[in-house]
Amino acid sequence: MPAKGDGITKRKDGRYMARYTVHTPDGPKRKVIYDRKYKEVEKQLNEARGITYDAGNITVGEYLTEWVSDSDSARDTVRQRTYERYESIVRVHLAPALGRVKLKALTPAHVRGLYREKLDSGLSPRSVLHIHRTLSKALKQATDDGLIPRNVAAPVKPPRPRREEIRLLNHQQVQALFETAREDRLEALYVVAVTTGLRRGELQGLKWEDLDLEAGTLQVRRTLSEPRGGYIFEAPKSGKGRNIRLTQRAVAALREHRKRQLEERMQHAGLWQDHGLAFPSQVGTPLSGGNLNRSFKATLQRACLPEIRFHDLRHTCALEQTYKRHLSAIRTLAQIRKLGPAVQINIAENQINTAR
């Protein structure tokens, strides 16, 4: 039987060549296939390997439609939002452009042409990258199922998306945000976002049962996802939860927030739907990402702060933590300088020994 690692190369005379090994009673022997057509060499090589690929007359459109609706291939293997993106990309971009091409006849040239066409039509490089990932995932499944010999999207390089600029709030701007948000119903959410670095969906999915204000801790157990037609709670992005220590400011803000929320519940007693959420809407239902973004943007404008994405608060958290570490180091250094030289040397030696 043929060995692994056999490949097809193009000779200087224009012919394609494939070498493979067969194992005989007298030992392994090398065989060679020549032909001017790549497909013919590939076909003979597969026959020699005992492999048969049979996509029949199925088109790319037919295969993608089946793939995106198959629970084992796409629907139940990814998050709901990701699946919806797959379905949309197949319906809007892939099926109209490549749908009539036979699956077995699809080539890298078809794929490159599709990407070029989408870029020329004004689609962003990041959107084309999503198209590439969806098509490549689908074709990989086709190769795994033995329908085609190779994933023709794999060797095609997708466009490189432009890196989004990350805009952060400095320490003074963070204080301005907190001051402007004082008494706002989302004040505690902003404080927790900046001091913990939680993602937006994790904040939307946070429940009071995840908080221990006495111990000053928070557990990330779920995230809120907003697929078409509603919302669902899912596992965190990392696939597992994590414990986070809350700052004193966050604990104080959450205590005040809980009191304010109890007042809201009384005001909307007939409409309130209790989901146990720490940051719900005004009637207890999950807070939508769109409403949260609009409230955050309005707060930035009132504070005369630059417009940033809500997700940038996650990066601002890292900057705040760095600021506090440096501030602590400066204060420690100032205290050490007040001590005598002998004490300074003793502290330095202890630090070195600890590092070892």
Range of the domain at 187: 171-320
Residue pLDDT, tens place only, 87-138: 999 999 999 999 999 999 999 999 999 999 999 999 999 999 999 999 999 9
Q: Are residue 274 and residue 251 in the same domain, yes or no?
A: yes
pTM of the full structure: 0.67
Are 243 and 198 contained in the same domain? yes
Residue 41 covered by a domain: yes
Give the residue carrying structure tokens 């221990």. 212
State how far the Cα of 272 lies from the Cα of 283, in Å rounded to an integer.
Answer: 4
340 within some domain: no
Query: CA distances (Å), 224 to each of 89, 109, 153, 244, 258, in order?
Result: 23, 40, 33, 18, 20
CA atoms within 13 A on the CB side of 315: 11
224 falls within a domain:
yes
Average pLDDT over residues 292-314: 95
Q: Are residues 258 and 218 in the same domain?
A: yes
In a domain, 99, yes or no: yes
Residue 4 has a pLDDT of 42
User: Do 115 and 38 fall into the same domain?
Assistant: no
Q: What tokens appear for 48 in the block?
A: 């020699």
Does residue 339 sit within a domain?
A: no
Structure tokens at 50: 């005992």
Q: What is the rounded distance in angstroms from the CA atom of residue 294 to the CA atom of residue 114?
A: 36
When pLDDT is averaged across residues 323-344 and rounded to a whole number, the result is 53
Q: Within this chain, do residues 176 and 309 fall inside the same structural domain, yes or no?
A: yes
Residues 181 and 306 in one domain: yes
Number of Cβ within a 10 Å radius of residue 105: 13
Task: Tell me how many domains the chain contains.
Answer: 3
Contact between 161 and 125 under an 8 Å Cβ cutoff? The reply is yes
Distance (Å, whole) CA 68 – CA 78: 11
Q: Are residues 87 and 118 in the same domain?
A: yes
Mean pLDDT of the 150-158 span? 93
Please give the order of strands across the beta sheet that includes 217-220. Answer: 211-212, 217-220, 242-245
Write down the pLDDT at residue 52: 56
Q: Answer whether residue 160 is part of any domain.
A: no
| 10-48 residue pLDDT tens | 888 999 998 877 655 456 778 888 998 888 888 888 777
